[in-house]
Amino acid sequence: MSEQAIELSNVTVRYGRNLAADRVTLEVPHGSVYALLGRNGSGKSSLVRCLLGQQKPQEGTIAVFGQDVWKGRASLMQRVGVVFEEADAPPEMTVDQIAEFCGDLYTRWGAKEVDSLLERFGIDRRARFGTLSKGQKKEVLLALALAASPDLLVLDDPTLGLDVVARKALFEEVITELADRGITVFLTTHDFAGIEALADRVAILKNGRLVLQEELETLKARFRRIRFAAKPVAFEQSALRTALMRNWGGGAEAIVTNYDDVAFEQFRGTDAEVSAMSLQDIFLAVSGEGARS
């Protein structure tokens, strides 16, 4: 068996002249929580559709559990749970009716899992899907996705439309529980604070290209914000590399991508202040306007 739950190799997606994904290669280990980050229009949704066998890329290959997803989609989707960005189901059907319909499609369906999650989310099973709030619809689809007993759960911006309590439950309860059970979670998200405490690995897309992919703790260890009271002399001749350099008050601020104490030693007497960075800070430095590699 492949060591990776998901393998994308040189995946390229085009829409006419528009390049949505440019030779993207990534690997998602079994049992990991993997977050794919990127601004709107960066190519995340195109890659998710290709990953699920809904769209064939113009170039490259995609394997899930070692099997080509385009050729083996029917059998693979029995092992994959999905929650899309836009929660969609027949509006006139009740939650119970939708659950019963989905139960006939999956060989590993767990009715008790649906019951437990709908109760946890406070969803009325007799309610028609069309009468539910946006957040409630997302919670229903999450419950259905987990009831299929998936080995892989794909979440496309899962917290969109959820209130604070529901977002907390998703990240701190549901995803943590899945990780403890060894289920692989692959998600796109804009909720940096929520995923920062859970993700094992992160990747960042910028204009269709994968500009970063690594373990989250390694990433946070090498990025630092350094603020200088006066503009630093010969900073670019140092061993420190920057993703961003800008004016800050009367001095300068540098976002360093390879920080270590030894390399910083030459600036010890310059009133420089070093601070750690959150995942959101790193994302903005790497993918925001004005960033440079």
Select, from the ranges 91-105, 130-144, 221-235, the one with the highest average predicted confidence (pLDDT).
91-105
Q: What is the pLDDT of residue 121?
A: 85
CATH number at residue 167: 3.40.50.300
Q: What is the pLDDT of residue 269?
A: 66
Least confident of 50-59, 145-154, 175-184, 209-218: 175-184
Q: What is the pLDDT of residue 168?
A: 76
Query: Strand 152-156 to strand 80-83: parallel, antiparallel, or no bridges (unpaired)?
Result: parallel
One domain, residues 57 and 88: yes
Which DSSP state fits 209?
E
The answer to whether residues 277 and 255 touch, using CB atoms and an 8 Å cutoff, is: yes
One domain, residues 122 and 238: no
One domain, residues 63 and 19: yes
DSSP assignments along 29-71, one per residue: ETT-EEEEEE-TTSSHHHHHHHHTTSS--SEEEEEETTEETTT
Q: What is the pLDDT of residue 135?
A: 83
**For 251-268, how does the pLDDT look when each residue is reduced to its tens digit (9 = 90+)?**
888 898 988 888 777 777
One domain, residues 209 and 234: no
One domain, residues 270 and 191: no
**For 150-193, how does the pLDDT look when each residue is reduced to its tens digit (9 = 90+)?**
999 999 888 777 777 777 777 777 777 787 788 999 999 888 88
Residue 199 lies in a domain: yes
Identify the band that residue 236 occupies on the pLDDT scale cut at 50, 70 and 90.
low
What are the start-end ranges of the H helices in 131-260?
Answer: 134-147, 164-169, 176-180, 192-196, 216-222
Query: Strand 251-256 to strand 242-248: parallel, antiparallel, or no bridges (unpaired)?
Result: antiparallel
Residue 271 lies in a domain: yes
φ and ψ at 137, to 5 degrees? -60, -40
One domain, residues 115 and 250: no
Q: Specify the DSSP element, H or E, that contains 76.
A: helix 73-76
Check pLDDT > 50 for residue 75: yes
One domain, residues 165 and 55: yes
Residue 230 lies in a domain: yes
The widest CA-to-CA distance across the chain, in whole angstroms, is 69
Check pLDDT > 70 for residue 234: no
Q: Who's near 128: CB < 8 A, 6+ residues apart?
A: 91, 92, 93, 94
Residue 84 lies in a domain: yes
| pLDDT, average across residues 135-155 | 90
- Name the domain boundary from 218, 239, 256: 218
Select, from the ranges 134-138, 163-167, 221-225, 227-231, the one with the highest average predicted confidence (pLDDT).
221-225
Full domain range(s) for residue 245: 224-276
Residue 267 lies in a domain: yes
Domains: count for the chain:
2
**For 8-38, how does the pLDDT look when each residue is reduced to its tens digit (9 = 90+)?**
999 999 999 899 999 999 999 999 999 999 9
Q: Which residue has the tokens 């903005």?
A: 284
- Name the domain boundary from 197, 218, 239: 218
Q: What is the pLDDT of residue 185?
A: 94
Residue 244 lies in a domain: yes
One domain, residues 107 and 237: no
One domain, residues 75 and 177: yes
One domain, residues 66 and 168: yes
Q: Specify the DSSP element, H or E, that contains 117.
A: helix 111-121
- Name the domain boundary from 202, 218, 234: 218
Residue 249 lies in a domain: yes
Check pLDDT > 50 for residue 293: no
One domain, residues 22 and 114: yes
Residue 286 lies in a domain: no
Whole-prediction pTM value? 0.88
One domain, residues 240 and 128: no
